[in-house]
Amino acid sequence: MTRVLVVEDDPQLVRALVINMQARRYGVDAAPDGTTALRLAAVRRPDVVVLDLGLPDMDGVEVIKALRGWTRTPILVLSARRASEEKVAALDAGADDYITKPFGMDELLARLRAAVRRTEALPLAREATVTTDDFTVDLLAKKAGRDGRDIRLTPTEWHLLEILVCNPGRLVTQKELLVAVWGPAYATRTNYLRVYMAQLRRKLEADPAHPRYLITEPGMGYRFES
């Protein structure tokens, strides 16, 4: 079943979207704000995100940037903003499509189907299991293992690890990680990352003091080297 994440703070519109999508056999999750959307995206792993830009806690463009820090899931913007520069900003941030309000439900559903088709036509971006010399990460089962035994990770540790291993070799900035895991209010709390990355290294690295896989780029962010 194709899963859609609807990010919209208008309850009536959310209800209409959910009813129409479920009638066409989509699985639907709904988030009323950007913080909830980022958390649901990490937990539920939607196939498509339908996103309003005018959210109560953060601008939708910031949600797009945070999502693009770790996922290529198609993002369809729904917005009352009609100015060309608003559309350009959303598309440049990583949105795949832009639909202005008011809109026709048939058009939205057609664009949703098109986004799903494009995704299905792409080769798999990554394997379901990431294997290193010291540990494995099962992205579907959402667990890590070492020496044939499961490694207990907290939800926050798992979220950080998942973002990094889904972007092998790529620098994921501190802000991207903080916004994606904790929300925009924590965008400058770099001490959170130091604490949780140290915990991950103790659980995964053979020599936590000299990490081989979870690499720090001082002042910038982190990389996963496989």
pLDDT digit string, tens, across residues 189-219:
999 999 999 999 999 999 999 999 999 999 9
Instruction: Choose one of 94, 121, 148: the last residue of a domain.
Output: 121
The rounded mean pLDDT for the chain is 89
Q: E-assigned strands of the chain? A: 3-7, 27-31, 48-52, 75-79, 97-100, 129-131, 136-138, 143-146, 149-151, 172-173, 214-217, 221-224
Q: Are residues 164 and 108 in the same domain?
A: no
pLDDT confidence of residue 72 = 81
Q: Do 103 and 77 touch, CB atoms closer than 8 A?
A: no
pTM of the full predicted structure? 0.64
Same domain, yes or no, for 7 and 115?
A: yes
Give the count of domains, the chain.
2
pLDDT, mean of residues 158-181: 86
pLDDT digits (tens, 9 = 90+) for 57-112: 999 999 998 888 778 889 999 998 888 899 999 999 999 999 999 999 999 999 99
Enclosing domain of residue 201: 129-224
Q: Is the pLDDT of residue 181 over 50?
A: yes
Question: Does residue 29 sit in the same domain as residue 57?
Answer: yes
Where a domain ends, among 105, 121, 137? 121
pLDDT of residue 125: 43
Residue 127: per-residue pLDDT: 54
Query: Please, are residues 204 and 135 in contact by the beta-carbon 8 Å criterion?
Result: yes
Of 104, 121, 138, which residue is a domain's last? 121
Distance in angstroms (rounded) separating the CA atoms of residues 60 and 50: 11
In this prediction, residue 124 carries a pLDDT of: 44
Rounded Cα–Cα distance for residues 35 and 148 (Å):
36
Q: % helix / strand / coil in the chain, to the nearest 5?
A: 45, 20, 35
Structure tokens at 162: 């998942």
Alpha-carbon distance 63 to 93, whole Å?
9
